[in-house]
Amino acid sequence: MLPSSRHTLNLRNKQLRQVPEDIWQQTDLETLVLSENQLSEVPEQIGLLERLRTLDLGHNALARVPESLGDLSGLTDFLYLHDNRLTSLPSSLSRLRKLRYLNISENRFSALPDAVSEMQSLVELRVSDNQLASLPDWMGRLSRLQELHLRNNRLISVSESVGELPELRQIDLRGNPIENLPRSLARLPRLEKLDLRWVDSFELPDWIDDLEGRGCLVYR
């Protein structure tokens, strides 16, 4: 029998190469942790766990995630997919409209997946250590977003639409070859932290002083 509490199953760092079949019978699970294993795939049966609120698939060897992940309508708290081999996400994940935290850092994304555009409850989005060259114009649709982490990508510029995020508190742009920043960032009413460390590819615009003048911490 798999070790678990009534609503939580933690199989972190168990050297698993495949997901144990017993899991699909535990339909009352709210938290499933499968991180730090050797998983190269996750079966479509994961869609049976409709009560999941948190799913951790980080630190594995996944090149894809199943379409049925979009069936997890109760997934509201955390979805960890970081440190895998992902280049895309299935469009079905656009149905995760209650999800508040998504981590897809340390993968192989060259573009932010369109499915993210419908995750309009996101409070924190982590896409660090990928290969993003630009940000999509739909970023402004993530109206509840408070933290945006984009460290160590290939961003030359930042979309004007980021300046349409009324709740945004933190932007991490460290280690990108940025050549310009949109003035719209200066209009973000709640911005508290703009991290530009390890960015030496351009001269900071004058409006940065205005940000700092109203209390935003600008790390440079």
DSSP assignment string, 69-98: GGG-TT--SEEE--SS--S---GGGGG-TT
The number of distinct structural domains making up the chain is: 2
- What tens digit of pLDDT does each residue of 161-202 get? 999 999 999 999 999 999 999 999 999 999 999 999 999 878
- What tens digit of pLDDT does each residue of 66-79 get? 999 999 989 999 99
- What tens digit of pLDDT does each residue of 85-97 get? 999 999 999 999 9
Residue 5 in any domain: the answer is yes
CATH at residue 160: 3.80.10.10
| Shared domain check, 40 and 75 | yes
| Shared domain check, 145 and 87 | no
- Say what the pLDDT of residue 1 is: 36
| Shared domain check, 175 and 71 | no
| Shared domain check, 93 and 5 | yes
This prediction has a pTM of 0.95
Cα gap 40→34, rounded to integer Å: 12
| Shared domain check, 188 and 99 | no
Q: Which domain does 175 fall in, by range?
A: 132-220
| Shared domain check, 107 and 137 | no
| Shared domain check, 92 and 6 | yes
- What tens digit of pLDDT does each residue of 122-153 get? 999 999 999 999 999 999 999 999 999 999 99
- Say what the pLDDT of residue 203 is: 87
Neighbours of 143 (CB within 10 A): 13
- Say what the pLDDT of residue 135 is: 96
| Shared domain check, 86 and 17 | yes
The position carrying tokens 């205005």 is: 210
| Shared domain check, 150 and 88 | no
Percent of the chain, pLDDT > 90? Answer: 93
Cα gap 48→69, rounded to integer Å: 9
> Is the Cα dihedral 87, 90, 95, 98 positive or negative?
negative
